[in-house]
Structure 1
Amino acid sequence: MSIEQRLAPVALPDTRHRRTVEHLLAGSGVRLNGPDPWDIRVRHPDLFRRVLQQGSLGLGEAYMEGWWDCEQIDEMICRLLRHGLGSRAHTTSERIAYRLQAGVINLQSRRRAGVVGKVHYDFGNDLFTRMLDDTLCYSCGYWKDLPVSAENLGKAQQAKLDLVCRKLGLTPGMRLLDIGCGWGSLAAYAARHYGVEVVGITISAEQAALAREHCAGLPVEILLKDYRDPDFRRTIGSFDAIASIGMFEHVGHKNYATYFAHAAHLLRPGGRFVLHTIGSNQSDISADPWVNRYIFPNGVLPSASQLVRASEAHLVMEDWHNFGADYDPTLMAWRANLDQHWHELADTYSPRDKRMFKYYLGACAGAFRARQLQLWQVVFTHGTAGRYDAPR
């Protein structure tokens, strides 16, 4: 039976599991089989037991399998988080298991670094090129003074790229390192508009291939490298500027100090380093089990204090800019693009794949809308003499 065939609503069973879920939802504004677009439409009678036993992993997997539906997952998640249910989304066994594993194992070691590339970033360039805009930016746009719409996504991403270039103080002839270059969005923009030479590194083979196409004819070199590769650090030289956009989320708490040590080593005196990363409100070594399994394996979000502690021995922090609210419209624009173009992908990807991406984009948008997640751009130097005034 297909997912679509399982989407008929079911009568709500009168069980203790259902009553427990209703008690948890009370006051959130989210109801079971209610009339609002953020209400949960129950399609399988065992949904309640599954969610209570498996937490957020069970909720996400149940959506992928068609056990429940919701017109506005983004708003549903936002309301649940504002109601305080985020701390209850992970079962006790999940929390203990992850903390033990992360405490003993370096989940983001060089040997394990390629896992997220294979699972997520290599998922398919055909899918990502339809979900993103022409810049191929897979990170938060900058929506300052822009009307929010999928049509303006490209403008928001160009504004973000230009903001990074201005914060770096790029001028023609400079050499820029892009750590975690994705599909080459910043590399192409900086080379084309600021006349700089760029080296971009990524651990995703699919990203590297498309990034080279995207940057063809420009003074850009794309390398399939981990930032910790000894030969890379030894042979690449130094740079006038370094940027890292949407990559620090994959570094991991055991590697934060190493990351900043490498950045400091590669940055020339007088140079600037812009770090663009999602941030957590809590200094907690944890990861959402569903996101960890299906979207970003071994990913973990830094807190402000973790970022400060890891960097303070290596670089001077010049500026900290939070525009996390802008990730909400970015994610919703990606989801609108995916909905619009899914018919072009339906022969390659399954309905389960579509529901996985819809849940991922909607849930993340809801988390940013609830201000449970942040987006930071932090500027570092070696302690350049004089005052630094960051562009906005």
Structure 2
Amino acid sequence: MADAASRLHALVEQLLGAPFRARVRAWDGSQAGPPDAPILVVRNRRALRRFLFKPGELGLARAWVAGDLEIEGDLYAALDIVSGLVWDRGEDARSLTEALRDPRFRAAVRGLLRLAGPPLPPAPPPEEVRRAGHLHTRRTDRHAVSHHYDVGNDFYELVLGPSMVYSCAYWESPDPSADDALERAQRDKLELVCRKLALKPGQRLLDVGCGWGSMAIHAAREHGAGVVGITLSHEQATYARKRVADAGLADLVEIRVQDYRDVADGPYDAISSIGMAEHVGAERYREYTSALHALLRPGGRLLNHQIARRPRHDENAYRIDAFIDAYVFPDGELAPVGTTVAQLEHAGFEVRDVESIREHYALTLRRWVANLEAAWPRAVGLTSPGRARVWRLYMAASALSFERNRLSVNQVLAVRTPDSGASGLPLRARTWN
């Protein structure tokens, strides 16, 4: 199998019908491709078998997670280049069915099969979730949350930094350089949410998907609100309760392990849902919006902070990402922002403001990736090599998706407007007081 890299590089260009701008280093030590380009390291023929058995995103992800495939050089540039090999990602992805009608494409596939060798593809890496259906029952949602969040609080401290906020920060500058820039940007995001909700001392806030307690602590400490934070993760709850106690806020903040469907002690003056609604699912989203509407007092505000995907043509359905579903957050589903707004309105909310902060998430993710890479040996020790690779790929690829406008993130402010029609919001938008 001498000079496997030249053969592989030529076959990939044949698949793409265009130059392949990455350099390839194959298992035999050979290299081919532009000399100054990022290097795609194909460690063994098993990587090809994984890709050929599951063409597209999932096959490449399996090879990456298993360590059969690696990248040297600029990770983001390499992922941009390799995305051309993914046929199931968005409007610009090539249809595999259509491609297979091209004789040149079929010849390239046959060549890759010969290069990959005869053995059947190996089993998926152990980090891959195996389950049937997207039921979004209380049990399956608990399992999905545990898979994603119970990786270990030490691991999340390493990636997220002291703020322990696992959602988009709110940046002042597109080129943050200070060591504490991420912490300040996360604090600014929490403050923005509190101002949009117009929190005041003595009010009750329900924080749905409270994570490690950062929003609950900020709302109580800075605005005097009484906060109930709910999560399905026992590890998060334990960590959050300690933080609350250490901050001297136990009289204002209660952290519960509880499903949003089981909260029954309304009404609340305000509800924050930050980075949680992506995991509700299409089957349950109307139930989610109706439950939050019922928990608010008339005139109460909801701030729904949620990732959205770009719609294809006139289609507004939810969609599941194969890699994220298998390795990152099982049962996570993304919808266009218009679908989310419609669901909130159907539940009885009056939607008063929608703010896209898409670029802010790209900056946040790049900082998280830098944190992970800077402490890579410790990250591997806290989890596993495969799990650390999952998070590096997930965050870097997501950063590119936000930068390229394939994904967005929106803060939707909605009100349970009373029958009188008095929303309680200021006449001039975005003064948030």
Could you say which TM-score interval applies, normalised by the shorter chain?
A: 0.7 to 0.9
How many angstroms apart in 1 are the aligned matches of 2:229 and 2:146? 19
2:307 maps to 1:278? yes
Deviation string, structure 1 residues 204-236 (Cα, Å, up to 9, x no partner): 11111111112112111000001012xx22xx1
One of 284, 287, 298 as aligned partner of 1:258: 287
Equivalence map 1:76-155=2 (5 Å): 76-78=78-80, 86-87=89-90, 88=93, 106-145=134-173, 147-149=175-177, 151=179, 152-155=181-184
Maintained 8 Å contact 2:379/2:388? no
- Structure 2 residue matching 1:40: 3-state secondary structure: strand
Paired residue for 1:95? none
Quote how far apart the aligned CAs of 1:23 are.
3.5
Counterparts of residues 368-387 of structure 1 (less than 5 Å): 368-383=402-417, 384=423, 387=427
Instruction: Report the CA distance between 1:135 and its aligned residue.
Output: 1.5
Q: What SS class does the counterpart of residue 377 from structure 1 fall into?
A: strand
Is residue 78–residue 369 contact of structure 1 (8 Å, CA) maintained in 2? Answer: no
Amino acid at match of 1:185: S
After TM superposition, list the pairs within 5 Å mapping 1:179-190 onto structure 2.
179-190=208-219
Distance 1:116 1:149, change over 3 A: farther
**CA 1:47/1:22 → structure 2, altered by over 3 Å: closer, same or farther?**
farther
Question: Cα gap change, 1:327/1:27 in structure 2, threshold over 3 Å: closer, same or farther?
Answer: farther
Look up the SS of the partner of 1:107 in the other structure.
coil
Hey, what does 2:58 align to over in structure 1?
Answer: 57
Q: Is the 8 A contact 1:316 1:382 kept in 2?
A: yes
What CA deviation, in whole Å up to 9, does each residue of 1:162-206 have, x standing for no partner? 111111111111111100000011001111111111000001111
- What does the per-residue CA deviation read over 1:276-310, in whole Å, with 9 as the maximum and x for residues that have no partner? 01101123443222211111001011212321221
CA contact (8 A) 2:23 2:37 kept: no
The amino acid of 1:193's aligned partner reads E
**Worse-superposed segment, 154-163 or 329-338:** 329-338
Which moves more between the two structures, 74-83 or 255-264? 74-83
Structure 1 residues 312, 143: closer, same or farther in 2, change over 3 A?
Answer: same
Q: Which amino acid aligns with 1:301?
A: L
Q: Is residue 209 from structure 1 mapped to residue 238 from structure 2 by the alignment?
A: yes
Segments of 5+ residues of structure 1 without an aligned counterpart are 1-8, 93-103
**2:28 equivalent in structure 1:** none
Matched letter for residue 11 of structure 1: A
Conserved? CA contact 1:187–1:199, under 8 Å = yes
Structure 1 position 108, deviation (Å): 1.6
Q: Per the alignment, do residues 147 and 23 of structure 1 end up closer, same or farther by CA in structure 2, a change over 3 Å counting?
A: same
Structure scoring higher RCO (CA < 8 A, sep ≥ 6) equals 1
Structure 2 match to 1:312: 345
C-alpha contact (below 8 Å) 2:372/2:379 kept by paired residues: no
8 A Cα contact 1:22 1:32, kept in partner: no
SS of match in other structure, 2:135:
coil
Which residue of 1 is the match for residue 429 of structure 2?
389
- Return the TM-score normalized by structure 2: 0.78
Task: Note the alpha carbon deviations across 1:229-273, whole angstroms, 9 max, x for none.
Answer: 2xx22xx12111110000011000111111111111111112211
Q: 1:377 to 1:46 in 2, by over 3 A?
A: same
Which whole-Å CA distance do the structure 2 matches of 1:195 and 1:29 have between them? 55
3-state SS of the aligned residue for 1:317? strand
Aligned residue-pair number: 368
Q: Which structure has the larger Rg?
A: 2
**For the structure 1 residues 156 and 320, does the alpha-carbon distance in structure 2 shift closer, same or farther, using more than 3 Å as the test?**
same
Long gaps (5+) in structure 2: 26-33, 98-131, 418-422
Q: What percentage of aligned pairs have identical amino acids? A: 37
Contact 1:163 1:391 in 2 (8 A): no
Amino acid at match of 1:64: V
The alpha-carbon distance between structure 1 residues 347 and 53, as it changes in their structure 2 partners (threshold 3 A), is closer
Q: Which residue of 1 aligns with 2:190?
A: 161
Amino acid across the alignment from 1:60: A
Answer with 150-159 or 291-300: which moved more: 150-159
Give the conservation status (yes or no) of the 8 Å contact 1:146–1:156: no
SS at match of 2:4: coil
Q: How does 1:22-37 map to 2 (within 5 A)?
A: 22-24=14-16, 26=18, 29-30=21-22, 32=24, 34-36=34-36
Query: Which runs of structure 2 are paired with 1:61-76 in the superposition (5 Å)?
Result: 61-70=62-71, 71-76=73-78
Task: Summarize the Cα distance change of 1:385–1:329 in structure 2 as closer, same or farther, 3 Å threshold.
Answer: closer
Query: What residue number does 1:244 align with?
Result: 273
Number of the residue aligned with 1:352 = 386
Residue in 1 aligned with 2:322?
289
Question: Equivalents in 2 of 1:143, 1:36: separation in Å?
Answer: 33
Q: Report the alpha carbon displacement of residue 41 of structure 1 after superposing the two structures with TM.
A: 2.9
| TM-score when normalising by structure 1 | 0.85
Residues 69 and 169 of structure 1: CA distance in aligned 2, closer, same or farther (over 3 Å): same
